[in-house]
């Protein structure tokens, strides 16, 4: 008999006699340690006294290999039925747990095919024109602006209109009327006016480089109000009017009635109030009248100007980018914006050998306002060519 014969013989007898039990224990992992314990208990009962497998296995090298057959059974410690799953499905279960928490998935990675945009969008606003549903109104030309008027300045012929009689907030287009009233009063343009705290306490906050205590001539304030739409400049002009702001507002409304602006109302000189309203038809009348005033033409179309503010020279630019576009011949310009008014623009321009007045109220953004102006220019050129072709035929 080989070395360690009796003990080895018992071990062989155990492995042969109970192989079926062990196979069932391994195959039915769900039985776990309970099945394995029963099998081992039965084997121990059949062994001779003192032949403890536990004790003798480490002492006898020949028993080491058979004892290792019990190691796979140790993997059966988890007693749940999920333990019977293979390794790869267990990995899928991990993914399933992650997918069950959508918040974690969103935080870890964006949706497939979605890239973060670096383009800064313009802030949205709910203008009066939008609330009235005017933007979607049909016209001869598709435009984003809610209300439009294009007029042949020489003949007075209406070339294009869209909601032309809708009285809407006009924002800083108001400053054209402010300039008209200031110049009608014939106050000295070289008179110094100091920016007061009152000029900063306006209806809406607006950034300004005109600090309290800074001194400007009336001409400089007029220039900054028309070119750069400086609200403090416009308020200071109204405040320094004979009788102050109340008298100035009365003069603004009197001027509107004198010009025949029947749907217009003015409540202050800057345009920050939504109470300043007018229709495109009224504003075409105002632009036509203002275009006959050389100082308004010059100041409103200057591309930029350098003005001394508090002992320092500062550069101010025109708020209308088209004044810096060499392809446009603009004789008067004024932009405007508050949330209730949207993006507004009035111009006198020479297009295709014709003097025209363009009024656009309530575009959804600066880019769309400029796009509307370009679209109108192209449309006028096409219409002119079409009419000329019709005449020749």
pLDDT of 288 over the 70 cut? yes
pLDDT of 305 over the 80 cut? yes
Read off the pLDDT of residues 354-365 as tens digits, 9 standing for 90 and up. Answer: 999 999 999 999
- pLDDT-based confidence at residue 13 (cuts at 50, 70, 90): very low
301 and 322 Cβ atoms separated by less than 8 Å:
no
Q: According to the model, what pLDDT value does residue 102 have?
A: 37
Average pLDDT (6-27) is 45
240 a catalytic residue: no
d(CA 140, CA 237): 40
Pick the catalytic residue from 229, 240, 264, 273: 229
- What percent of the chain is modeled with pLDDT above 90? 60
Lowest mean pLDDT among 186-190, 315-319, 355-359, 379-383: 379-383
- pLDDT-based confidence at residue 125 (cuts at 50, 70, 90): low
pTM: 0.69
175 a catalytic residue: yes
Average pLDDT (349-377) is 96
Strand order in the sheet with 158-162: 158-162, 147-152, 354-363, 342-351, 330-338
Q: According to the model, what pLDDT value does residue 337 have?
A: 96
- pLDDT-based confidence at residue 137 (cuts at 50, 70, 90): confident
pLDDT of 385 over the 70 cut? yes
pLDDT of 158 over the 70 cut? yes
Lowest mean pLDDT among 5-14, 33-42, 94-103, 254-263: 94-103
Number of neighbouring beta carbons within 10 Å of residue 84: 13
pLDDT of 88 over the 70 cut? no
pLDDT of 225 over the 80 cut? yes
229 a catalytic residue: yes
For all residues of the chain together, what is the average pLDDT? 78
H helices, E strands: number in the chain = 16, 11
What burial class does residue 247 get, using C-beta atoms within 10 Å of its C-beta: 0-12 exposed, 13-18 middle, 19+ buried?
middle
Q: According to the model, what pLDDT value does residue 310 have?
A: 84
pLDDT of 56 over the 60 cut? no
pLDDT of 138 over the 90 cut? no
d(CA 333, CA 156): 19
Pick the catalytic residue from 127, 145, 146, 172: 172
Q: According to the model, what pLDDT value does residue 23 have?
A: 55
Read off the pLDDT of residues 307-343 as tens digits, 9 standing for 90 and up. Answer: 999 889 999 999 999 999 999 999 999 999 999 999 9
Pick the catalytic residue from 127, 145, 162, 175: 175
Lowest mean pLDDT among 57-61, 111-115, 204-208: 111-115
């Amino acid at each position: 008999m080989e070395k360690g014969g009796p003990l080895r013989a018992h071990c062989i007898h155990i492995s042969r006699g109970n192989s079926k039990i062990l196979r069932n224990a391994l195959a039915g992992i769900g039985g776990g340690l309970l099945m394995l314990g029963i099998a081992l208990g039965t084997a121990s009962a059949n062994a001779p006294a003192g032949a403890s497998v536990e004790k003798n296995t480490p002492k006898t090298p020949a028993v080491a290999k058979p004892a290792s057959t019990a190691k796979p059974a140790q993997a059966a410690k988890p007693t749940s039925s999920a333990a019977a799953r293979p390794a790869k499905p267990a990995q899928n279960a991990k993914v399933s747990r992650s997918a069950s928490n959508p918040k974690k998935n969103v935080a870890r990675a964006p949706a497939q095919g979605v890239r973060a945009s670096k383009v800064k969008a313009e802030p949205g606003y709910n203008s009066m024109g939008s609330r009235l549903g005017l933007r979607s109104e049909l016209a001869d030309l598709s435009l984003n602006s809610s209300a439009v008027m294009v007029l042949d300045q020489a003949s007075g012929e209406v070339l294009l209109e869209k909601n032309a009689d809708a009285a809407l907030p006009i924002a800083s287009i108001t400053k054209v009327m402010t300039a008209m009233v200031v110049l009608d009063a014939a106050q000295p343009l070289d008179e110094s006016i100091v920016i007061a705290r009152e000029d900063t306490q306006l209806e809406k906050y607006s950034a300004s480089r005109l600090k309290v205590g800074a001194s400007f001539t009336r001409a400089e304030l007029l220039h900054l109000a028309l070119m750069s739409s400086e609200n403090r400049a416009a308020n200071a002009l109204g405040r320094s009017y004979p009788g102050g702001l109340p008298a100035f507002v009365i003069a603004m409304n009197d001027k509107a009635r004198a010009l025949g602006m029947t749907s217009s109302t003015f409540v202050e000189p800057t345009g920050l109030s939504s109470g300043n309203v007018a229709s495109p038809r009224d504003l075409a009348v105002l632009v036509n009248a203002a275009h006959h005033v050389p100082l308004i033409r010059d100041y409103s179309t200057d591309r930029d100007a350098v003005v001394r503010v508090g002992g320092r020279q500062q550069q101010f630019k025109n708020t209308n980018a088209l004044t810096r576009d060499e392809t446009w011949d603009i004789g008067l310009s004024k932009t405007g914006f508050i949330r209730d008014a949207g993006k507004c623009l009035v111009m006198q321009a020479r297009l295709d050998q014709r003097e025209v007045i363009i009024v656009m109220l309530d575009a959804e953004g600066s880019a769309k306002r400029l796009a509307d102006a370009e679209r109108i220019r192209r449309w006028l050129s096409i219409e002119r060519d079409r009419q000329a072709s019709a005449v020749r035929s």
